[in-house]
Amino acid sequence: MIGQTSPDSPRQRVLGLAVAAVLSAACAAAAVLAAWMTIQVLAQDRLGSVAGLILTRFEALDREVQSTLDTFNRQPERFCSAEELDHLREAVYRTRYIKDVGRLKERRLVCTGSLQMIAAPPLVPVPQARTKDGLGVSPAEPVLVARESRAPILEKGATNVVLDPATFIDEPLIGMDYSAGYLSETGRYVRLYGRAILPVEDDTVMQGPFARDGTLYYRLCARDRALCVTTALRKPDLFHQHALLLGVCGLLGLLAGIAGSALTLVMWARRNSIDARLRDAVSRRALMLEYQPIVALADGRIVGAEALIRWRDQTGRAIPPAVFIPVAERIGEIRAITDFVIAQAFADFASCLKDKSLLGISLNISVQDLADDAFFETLAKEIERWSLDTKQISLELTEHSTEARDVVTDGIRRLRRRGHRIHIDDFGTGYSSLSYLNELQVDALKIDRSFTQTVGGDTTRITVVPQILDIARTLGLEVIVEGVEEVEQADWFRGSGAGYAQGWMFGRPISAAAFKERLAAQALARPASA
């Protein structure tokens, strides 16, 4: 029997080959699947990034619209007067997103910035929807200045504005669709820009990434306004764009190790989302503070510092606060960041505050901080630890955050009872009314740098700034001007009664050590100047 083979041996070999083929095919399929998942994750990240860019532009448009509507609605006695016609024409010229501004009376368009007085005022259709704050929204209406064209029209009170229909034409939208619009008071979505994307009409859709009917979506809405943006990318289009890559991955997937590598790549992509990177940075205290001088405009003397949070990820790339602070608020890390700012700023400048070489320091806080009793406890403990005067610790809230009325009002009362000074940051970019500011009982307004840039050689552009200064005088508030870069700007605000300023003219944000060197140099120079 020596040399004879078992009758089962050929079958076993065939079975072994079949199993090997199946395993090889499974590895190839796993590699392709892993690659496809990675491509979708990266595509969702790109959709989210583009949605963020569009929403930022949309919010800027909305602020410009609100400011323009409020400006003209505050002056009913000037309705279509010669003076107002000049202001309407100027508004059309200086605004970025508005093509025309009109004045309405009994649903008829009486005058506009472009057409001036209209001989036969046409009837203006009723808006298709209204937002909770009364903004009328008409997605695509014919415009008088170009009758063959249509553009979005927004209105409030006796004023309407015609928007630029090409607002988002320069956004990086290659290979994807988008939709940008308002939410009505009933929650219905009204599209102003982009294409009709079916899931946007579904009010149950939450923010963030999701997939439906073979399409990837990313929906993003403003925190304090009825604005939403959705980006979309069809999976077949995405597949065709990456067909070669998928083929290569399938071939490499014949090796078991490649399948593991593809899985690792997917896990790496997830671990390296901005949410996870920020959590890791906060847990490792891998954040830092820089300080920008606040000076007295009368003599340029440094009287305070604003603490500014900075983050560089593990690649060394600087992530702007405008990007990671909203993420921190969303994922619940803002309180840890605020605690870090308080502890670090006090450690850096407690000695300067005690010897009065620095009169005060400003810290930025969030509405979420005001809603958390632990914030007040931490602040009080750190002040007691360093034996500081609460009057030297100013707390800054952005004007947009003051929309959370009850939380902000109660929180400010608690802070003021303890002796803290309260500043409203970026004033002029939000929607605070005179009565609400009075109710908040703040100490100072910080004029946003976008308004500071309107001051300079061309004084005809100064329109809102005098009104902000008037508001401050009416309420007895101090004014801190942000973004001062030119001598002409400093001179203008000094002559207009503003007390304090910060900006590159007086110093860029610097480290605590460099800031203390400036304070020391100022202390040495003061007797000589006297």
Q: Whole-angstrom Cα distance, residue 495 to residue 348?
A: 34
CB of 197 closer than 8 Å to CB of 217: yes
Assigned token pair, 500: 């304090």
**Strand pairing report for 393-398 and 421-427:** parallel
The confidence score (pLDDT) of residue 244 equals 72
Q: Name beta bridge partners: 306.
A: 292, 362
Q: Is the predicted pLDDT of residue 7 greater than 70, yes or no?
A: no
| CA distance to 367, 406, 441, per residue, from 414 (Å) | 13, 12, 11
The confidence score (pLDDT) of residue 255 equals 58
**Strand pairing report for 318-319 and 360-364:** unpaired
Q: Give the Cβ contact number of residue 194 at 10 Å.
A: 20
* Helix residue spans in 206-363 (DSSP H): 235-241, 243-252, 256-271, 274-283, 321-331, 334-354
CB of 182 closer than 8 Å to CB of 129: yes
C-alpha atoms less than 13 angstroms from C-alpha of 26 in its C-beta half-sphere: 7
Instruction: Evaluate the CA torsion angle 529, 494, 490, 481 in order and state its sign.
Output: positive
**Average pLDDT across the chain, whole number:** 82
Backbone angles phi, psi at 163, to 5 degrees: -90, 155
Read off the DSSP letter of residue 459.
G
309-350 tens-digit pLDDT: 999 888 888 888 888 888 898 889 999 999 999 999 999 999
| CA distance to 52, 143, 170, 331, 395, per residue, from 269 (Å) | 19, 47, 28, 18, 37
Q: Name beta bridge partners: 228.
A: 181, 221
460: confidence class by pLDDT, cuts 50, 70, 90: very low
Q: Whole-angstrom Cα distance, residue 151 to residue 160?
A: 12
75-116 tens-digit pLDDT: 888 899 999 999 999 999 999 999 999 999 999 999 999 999
CB of 484 closer than 8 Å to CB of 503: yes
- What is the rounded average pLDDT of the residues 455-481? 78
Read off the DSSP letter of residue 504.
T
Q: Whole-angstrom Cα distance, residue 179 to residue 78?
A: 37
| CA distance to 102, 217, 336, per residue, from 407 (Å) | 37, 33, 19
The position carrying tokens 């944000």 is: 509
- What is the rounded average pLDDT of the residues 250-271? 55
- Contacts of 281 by beta carbon, 8 Å cutoff, 6+ apart: 287, 311, 313
The confidence score (pLDDT) of residue 384 equals 94
Specify the range with the lowest mean pLDDT, choosing from 122-131, 238-247, 385-394, 449-458. 238-247
